[in-house]
Structure 1
Amino acid sequence: MRTYFLLILSVFCISGFSQTSEIVLIPKPQQMEIHNGTFTIDKNTSFYFEPQFEIAGNFFNEFLQKGAGFKLPSKSKKKAQIIIEKDGNQPSEGYFLDISDSKINIKASDASGAFYAIQTLRQLLPTSLERPLSAGEENSTLSVPQLTITDFPKFQYRGMHLDVARHFFDKEFVKKYIANLAMLKMNKFHWHLTEDQGWRIEIKKYPELTSKGAFREETRIGHYEDKPIRYDGKRYGGFYTQEDIKEVIAFAKTQNITIIPEIEMPGHAQAAISAYPELGCTGEQIPVATTWGVFEDIFCPKEETFTFLENVLTEVMDLFPGEYIHIGGDEAPKLRWKNCAHCQQLIKEKNLKNEDGLQSYFIHRIEEFVNSNGKKIIGWDEILEGGLAPNATVMSWRGVEGGIEAAKQHNQVIMTPVSHAYLDYYQSENLDEPTAIGGFLPLKKVYSLNPIPQELSEEEGKYILGAQANLWTEYIPTEKQAEYMVFPRILAMSEVVWSGPSKNFDKDYPDFFSRVEEFMPRLDALNINYANYLYEVEGEIIKKNGKVYYELTTPTKGKEIRYSINDSEEQIYTEPISITENSEINANVYKDDEKLGRGFNEKINYHKGITGNIKINVEPNPAYAAGGKEALINGISGSEKRYGDKEWLGFWGDDLEITIDLGEEMELSSLKTRFFNSPGVWIYAPKELHITCTNTRGEEVYLSKEIKASNKNLIDFKQELKSLKNLKPRYIKLTIPNYGMIPDGLQGAGHRAWTFIDEIVIE
């Protein structure tokens, strides 16, 4: 008899396997029992799998051949020691894995479940098997812990995206990318193949899409906000032949991954129009885009355009066996359509309300064609505008609102909100991070995603298929950087969509993070260039009973933080640090007197607002709300180089009313703040700011000041308060009207501008 104990959704220490080992599984299984002892695998261990589980069986043998130097001999089911068998009682994609001292038994109802059982078994084996054997090396005997796992995915759609149009990645990297997703039990790879900056898939009927549209004459250097604008002067491009595509699809099949190709329409079409100018509304020759952003030239809804797109999609659908074709549908400026006689006539003929209605007509027509070929479309949430195509699946990216609307209409939804799923955002506030598009998305926030919004009923929630993380590559030119942005954040997404969203974040996240730390050697063995923030110090202002403290934390267990404040001697951190004056804190993480990771530095401005309370009439956008409203009066200023840290708050199109209660009447001299200003990414400083100062008796003074337009990225605002004379305010209200609609001809035309505000310093 073997004794066992039950552990559910946790990190598992193994008795009898290794006194120092832990079972590290990502994503975590739904249920696991650990038993005493191990099972040994060597070249004589016999193997049986039913024919329908060939992908799983072949994967395991090839994994062993690469890392251990042997494959397992086949035996009958009765004689085999490792068995993969069919069990109709197992849920779709789920499996039962039992490892005893004499046998490994896997049960699954489908090929996916068997494959995922093997991925779990893979993670139970030594990480050394992930790298090919060198000459003379061998792993003749392998041990795995005795255990029982019952497991299945929470969501049927578990996706990861890669944009190869802004920057091109060859087929071998794409295959590696897919293989890494398979390890984490992801099942969908969204391959973004066309853009303004390059068309990446060979279409035999239209050869100039790749001979011309796959190459741009040069590429913008630095960030979109950088001034002056610079280019590298180097021709850039590349594309996949249809044979390349077939090779990648065949490989994805061995990894149990379905590829979803994306062919953008009607927007993000400049590369296609550069190759075939007749597809645009003007008919003029335009270049493949050499910079980033959203461009006015989009597909014109003429019959020849629809013929072109149907021919393109026919070749795409013939190549890709999956049920979905992604047709984009996002960020399609309507200026060309507004000024196009054909488009305006079509709006009248079809009795459409406006250009949004014309986009809806465009998407409906493409959907009918795709459906007639036995496929379904996915589109970004802009396809909701003007009326949603009846059978379309919505990929909700601008937030969760589009997904909520679509689910309530009983359309299927994939959640991929910028706030939690855009891995091209910064993952650390360190200033030496590689250039990213903006935003701040640490590992913790990815892990906090719940794909089913609470606004949906249980029945409506069934229309949420799952979630996906996205990697847009404007600022990601190399394979190493792509991996750096994806790992380890994809580990968090994989757990959300397989294991399910956390029900107790304060407990679950530390457990997950400890497994991430133990998972890193496997990533090393796989030669994955991951971002390592395991040993960073994190700091936060906390307030208790009108007093201010600074709390230091580090996410990994068993470490020590040492700090100094205002050049004092370094000391061990044991409790939050009292802050009563302007302060500078330096800190580091140690283990056994060895300094780990990078040093930490924070400057705190102890101004008169820091002990106050703050209210804002609207919540900041979830993508730019990491610090919450307290970030505006915590004494810490945001980065001068980027708006994507936790100190900047971003609001999309909102008029702001910010009220600060100082707690008591105070004599004040000035109020300062600053705004980010970057029209290229839709961020505009406001045109004016109004301040109302009120004392406890209700007496008030109103001040108003114009904010002059500027080309600078940072717009400083300062209002002298000495003119308040005898009024000592307790309450300060800032009224900040949004800049308004972005004019035609500029990036984001027709949309309301973003407002980004930093610390409000009251002196």
Structure 2
Amino acid sequence: MRTTRRILCLALFGIATLAHGAGASQPPLIPMPAQVSQVGEAFTVTAKTPIVVDAGDSEARRTADYLAALTERTRHLPLVVTQDAVQGPAIILKRDPQAPVKEAEGYTLDVTPQGIRVLARDEAGLFYGAVTAWQLMTPAQGSGDVRVEGVHISDQPRFAWRGMMLDSARHFQTPDEVRTLIDQMAQHKLNVLHWHLTDDQGWRIEIKRYPELTRIGAWRTPPDVGQGGEPGRYGGYYTQDQIREIVAYAHDRHITVVPEIDMPGHAQAAVASYPELGVTGRRPPVSPDWGVHPYLYNVDDHTVRVLQDVLDEVMALFPSTYIHVGGDEAVKDQWQASAAVQARMHALGLKNENQLQSWFIGQMGQYLAAHGRRLIGWDEILEGGLPASATVMSWRGTQGAIDAAKQGHDVVLSPAPQLYLDQMQSDRADETTGRLPSMSLQSYYDFEAVPKVLTADQAKHVLGMQANMWTEHMPTLRHIEHAVFPRMDALAEAAWTPATGREWHDFLNRLPAQLARYRVQDIGYADSAFAASVDVDRNAAIRGGKAQVTLSNQARYGNLHYTIDGSEPGASSPLYVHPFTVKLPTTISAVAIGADGTPLAAPRQRVLDVPALRTRSTGELDNCPGSDFRLRVQPTPDATSLAPTYLINVFDNCRLYRAADLDGIAAIRVDVARLPRNYQLAHEAKLVVAHKAGTPQGELVVRLDNCKGKTLGTLPLPEGGPLSFTLRGALVRQAGVHDLCLVFTSPITGPLYGIGDASVLPASEGSQ
């Protein structure tokens, strides 16, 4: 009977070896190579197995040293690198111009009883073959000798551009933190780090000719939310020596660093440093706000020359062919209001501000081309015309890529929200900061970079794809790691592996080995895709004193085990097969277990008692009608912990508590945080909803059924005081199940208010 139940569970849950047959036997490699054949006998790598390279091949030696260091760090298996001929089994890394590979960056790898042999024409291919060899030597968490199954691999990437964008302007990462991300990119065979270095909130690159850019522009004062006192400055920048070191570090791992210097918009930090570069002549602060700002560079000859001077120093630091100039979100209000800008536009014979931006970008493109470089920018640079040599990075969906490819421009697919890493990975209550809607691990895996509407010739302009790590709400490396990993694995496979070679369930079978590699390297990956969810009908449980429990996880992968006795669940705990019933109060603990018996995620708990069932956490509160904007933030913009978080809508400070059973309910308790309203909304500011207040600081008003419904209660907001507090107040008695609208009437010029938890209380607790 136990065996029958286990088979049933696997079949229903869609996972593991029984569910996917041959896919489970693939070696634990990510990204999946183009061709893999499992043949012959295995080979056991021991500390006596040398890594052999040809004498005099310094590039192969560098790759061998990298492999040896990585294997020792992650497997505690020391391997000696030698250029001498050896007798007996070995790991051989060899470059050969006649190697049987189809493309640049390609390699072959063979595992036989005589050892592991990697063959490539170029150093990049040899490096990627070495990464594959390392993955074969780390099939699971462990140390020491490792058995590697016999295999033949012939591999090359699908796309030439396999990238990740790191935003260091909104939040600053130390050089060591940047190197941590570069290391992981290399292990995933990604080859472009798009480094976002300037924006309204900070200028992060030292420019020796213009020192104010970092003396002033690299630092901002965080927003004040009414606590008093002067907040400390936030910021930092990279010296030119640090940048050279990072670029060299990336180069050794076959990663090209493409810098982004934003223009003509996202210029407030630069204008704060040198006001004459702006349109108004006034010096703004370096912005503590997120969003779309009005500050643009002006278009006179002096400013163009200054930015070209900046590009001179940028090109000296970054040998990449491409230099990114931004071009996005340049609100033209200041240009439209400036007589000088308008005069310049007409003198150039241009019809509108879009053409003026095109002229501005064209000046930079011509300058870069004269120095042997190519301009790349966000898809707004298409508006008003584009230099023939320019490359387009499509972020506003995929239409920009389609339009650019049809016009003959090379393109990189990087659409929002599909490939934006600041989108949350799930809607779970225990997620940290980010934007919604969530972009799951599977949505990353399923992304196709070549739009179907392109012809074969047009599709040749698709250089590849990248994911963007914007950091407005990711202040620490731990936030970034949670957002990036393991979605980087899905991105890597979508960018490297042929479309016909990708299969979601096979990918899941290979992923546990990669999660083990993360743990060994102390990478704070998110387990959101595998974390157990415990679902019940709240109101039925409250009324009946018992709950029918359903367990699941986002990826529908792993065997779910659970306990109801307070113990931690594991592989020996009861196996979930179908919904089960428990009496209240009960605490359910659940965990997904992989085929090898190890947990795929940390155990999750849910308390099932009446107070908990009457409570909605921040992520369980919906938007009020009228705006679907959802953002999960922390109490301060530069928080160093991952929690607490608050889900807000900057356009309407209002939340919906769905399906409250109000029988016997007499009061409500709401945990609230006062949050900075640090958002620049440009032309969308008119969409912000103001709710009429009865006091200067406003109230939390509870309405029945909808936001225009009957007022059930009014809870005054405190004037000043702590950043977090609890509101409690009586509600007009109602019967039945109703939605509750929780609307803050505070002034829209003041702070936002976020709800942590909201609980309805029975009469017995209403006066407490």
TM-score by length of 2: 0.69
Residues 1:56 and 2:51 are matched in the alignment: no
* Structure 1 residues 305-355: Cα deviation after superposition (integer angstroms, max 9, x where no partner): 111001000111011111010100011111110111121012211221211
Deviation for aligned residue 1:103: 3.1
* Structure 1 residues 14-56: Cα deviation after superposition (integer angstroms, max 9, x where no partner): xxxxxxxx73111111221223322434345351244553442
Structure 1 residues 341 and 561, CA, compared in 2 at 3 Å: closer, same or farther?
same
SS in 2 for 1:63: helix
**Residue of structure 2 equivalent to 1:74:** 83
Q: Which amino acid aligns with 1:305?
A: T
Deviates more, 1:415-424 or 1:31-40: 31-40
Deviation for aligned residue 1:360: 0.7
Deviation for aligned residue 1:709: 8.7
CA–CA separation in structure 1 for the residues paired with 2:592 and 2:533: 14
Deviation for aligned residue 1:233: 0.8
**Residue of structure 2 equivalent to 1:246:** 244
Structure 1 residues 204 and 68, CA, compared in 2 at 3 Å: closer, same or farther?
same
Please point out which of 186, 189, 192 is paired with 2:196: 192
SS in 1 for 2:38: strand
Please point out which of 326, 329, 332 is paired with 1:328: 326
Please point out which of 38, 47, 62 is paired with 2:43: 38
**Residue of structure 2 equivalent to 1:219:** 222
SS in 2 for 1:261: strand
Deviation for aligned residue 1:589: 4.1
Please point out which of 121, 129, 132 is paired with 1:109: 121
**Residue of structure 2 equivalent to 1:23:** 27
Q: CA contact under 8 A between 1:202 and 1:241: conserved in structure 2?
A: yes
SS in 2 for 1:467: strand
Deviation for aligned residue 1:563: 11
Deviation for aligned residue 1:410: 1.1
* Structure 1 residues 430-450: Cα deviation after superposition (integer angstroms, max 9, x where no partner): 233222244311211111110
Q: CA contact under 8 A between 2:51 and 2:64: conserved in structure 1?
A: no
Residues 1:553 and 2:547 are matched in the alignment: no
Q: CA contact under 8 A between 1:437 and 1:474: conserved in structure 2?
A: no
* Structure 1 residues 353-390: Cα deviation after superposition (integer angstroms, max 9, x where no partner): 21111111101111000111000011011111111222
SS in 1 for 2:53: strand
SS in 2 for 1:419: coil
Q: CA contact under 8 A between 2:177 and 2:477: conserved in structure 1?
A: yes
Q: CA contact under 8 A between 1:245 and 1:319: conserved in structure 2?
A: yes
Residues 1:84 and 2:90 are matched in the alignment: no
Structure 1 residues 430 and 149, CA, compared in 2 at 3 Å: closer, same or farther?
same
Gaps of 5+ in 1: 1-7, 14-21, 131-137, 222-226, 542-548, 565-569, 579-583, 606-619, 625-638, 649-676, 689-705, 721-744, 746-763
Structure 1 residues 297 and 557, CA, compared in 2 at 3 Å: closer, same or farther?
closer
Residues 1:100 and 2:98 are matched in the alignment: no
Structure 1 residues 457 and 539, CA, compared in 2 at 3 Å: closer, same or farther?
farther
**Residue of structure 2 equivalent to 1:512:** 507
SS in 2 for 1:474: coil
Q: CA contact under 8 A between 2:589 and 2:603: conserved in structure 1?
A: no
Q: CA contact under 8 A between 2:534 and 2:551: conserved in structure 1?
A: yes
* Structure 1 residues 451-488: Cα deviation after superposition (integer angstroms, max 9, x where no partner): 11111112211111111011111111112221111111
CA–CA separation in structure 1 for the residues paired with 2:21 and 2:326: 37
Q: CA contact under 8 A between 2:378 and 2:395: conserved in structure 1?
A: yes
Structure 1 residues 347 and 577, CA, compared in 2 at 3 Å: closer, same or farther?
farther
Q: CA contact under 8 A between 1:424 and 1:471: conserved in structure 2?
A: yes
Q: CA contact under 8 A between 2:195 and 2:259: conserved in structure 1?
A: yes
Deviates more, 1:429-438 or 1:711-720: 711-720
Deviation for aligned residue 1:525: 0.8
Please point out which of 626, 639, 647 is paired with 1:641: 647
Please point out which of 443, 453, 456 is paired with 2:454: 456
Deviation for aligned residue 1:536: 2.4
**Residue of structure 2 equivalent to 1:478:** 476
CA–CA separation in structure 2 for the residues paired with 1:288 and 1:12: 53
SS in 1 for 2:30: coil
* Structure 1 residues 29-84: Cα deviation after superposition (integer angstroms, max 9, x where no partner): 12212233224343453512445534423322433565434422222499883241
SS in 1 for 2:280: coil
SS in 1 for 2:431: coil
CA–CA separation in structure 1 for the residues paired with 2:333 and 2:23: 55
CA–CA separation in structure 2 for the residues paired with 1:177 and 1:518: 19
Structure 1 residues 230 and 457, CA, compared in 2 at 3 Å: closer, same or farther?
farther
Q: Kindly, what percent of the aligned residue pairs are identical? A: 34
Deviation for aligned residue 1:597: 2.5
CA–CA separation in structure 1 for the residues paired with 2:344 and 2:203: 28
**Residue of structure 2 equivalent to 1:522:** 517
Deviation for aligned residue 1:519: 1.6
Deviation for aligned residue 1:129: 9.6
* Structure 1 residues 180-211: Cα deviation after superposition (integer angstroms, max 9, x where no partner): 10000000001111111111111111111111
Residues 1:121 and 2:124 are matched in the alignment: no
**Residue of structure 2 equivalent to 1:446:** 444
**Residue of structure 2 equivalent to 1:670:** none
**Residue of structure 2 equivalent to 1:732:** none
**Residue of structure 2 equivalent to 1:755:** none
Q: CA contact under 8 A between 2:422 and 2:434: conserved in structure 1?
A: yes
**Residue of structure 2 equivalent to 1:181:** 185
**Residue of structure 1 equivalent to 2:343:** 345
Q: CA contact under 8 A between 1:587 and 1:599: conserved in structure 2?
A: yes
Q: Which amino acid aligns with 2:222?
A: T
Q: Which amino acid aligns with 2:50?
A: T
Q: CA contact under 8 A between 2:294 and 2:682: conserved in structure 1?
A: no
Structure 1 residues 643 and 604, CA, compared in 2 at 3 Å: closer, same or farther?
farther
Structure 1 residues 47 and 416, CA, compared in 2 at 3 Å: closer, same or farther?
same
Q: Which amino acid aligns with 2:438?
A: F
* Structure 1 residues 157-189: Cα deviation after superposition (integer angstroms, max 9, x where no partner): 000111111111111111111111000000000
CA–CA separation in structure 2 for the residues paired with 1:590 and 1:122: 27
Deviates more, 1:286-295 or 1:332-341: 286-295
Please point out which of 281, 304, 315 is paired with 1:306: 304
SS in 1 for 2:152: strand
**Residue of structure 1 equivalent to 2:393:** 395
* Structure 1 residues 569-600: Cα deviation after superposition (integer angstroms, max 9, x where no partner): x997646899xxxxx99884465999963246
CA–CA separation in structure 1 for the residues paired with 2:181 and 2:175: 10
Q: Which amino acid aligns with 2:523?
A: I
Structure 1 residues 128 and 527, CA, compared in 2 at 3 Å: closer, same or farther?
farther
**Residue of structure 1 equivalent to 2:282:** 284
CA–CA separation in structure 2 for the residues paired with 1:407 and 1:9: 40
Q: Which amino acid aligns with 2:161?
A: Y
Q: Which amino acid aligns with 1:560?
A: L
Residues 1:47 and 2:46 are matched in the alignment: no
CA–CA separation in structure 2 for the residues paired with 1:46 and 1:572: 45
Deviation for aligned residue 1:276: 0.8
CA–CA separation in structure 2 for the residues paired with 1:323 and 1:356: 26
Residues 1:597 and 2:607 are matched in the alignment: no
CA–CA separation in structure 1 for the residues paired with 2:598 and 2:248: 51
TM-score by length of 1: 0.70
Structure 1 residues 142 and 599, CA, compared in 2 at 3 Å: closer, same or farther?
closer
SS in 2 for 1:418: coil
CA–CA separation in structure 2 for the residues paired with 1:24 and 1:59: 20
Q: CA contact under 8 A between 1:100 and 1:146: conserved in structure 2?
A: yes
Deviation for aligned residue 1:283: 1.1
Tell me the number of residue pairs that the alignment of Structure 1 and Structure 2 aligns.
Answer: 600
Gaps of 5+ in 2: 1-19, 537-547, 565-572, 615-626, 631-644, 655-676, 710-748, 750-768
CA–CA separation in structure 2 for the residues paired with 1:229 and 1:680: 22
CA–CA separation in structure 2 for the residues paired with 1:43 and 1:10: 33
Structure 1 residues 586 and 278, CA, compared in 2 at 3 Å: closer, same or farther?
same
CA–CA separation in structure 1 for the residues paired with 2:295 and 2:61: 48
Structure 1 residues 77 and 282, CA, compared in 2 at 3 Å: closer, same or farther?
farther
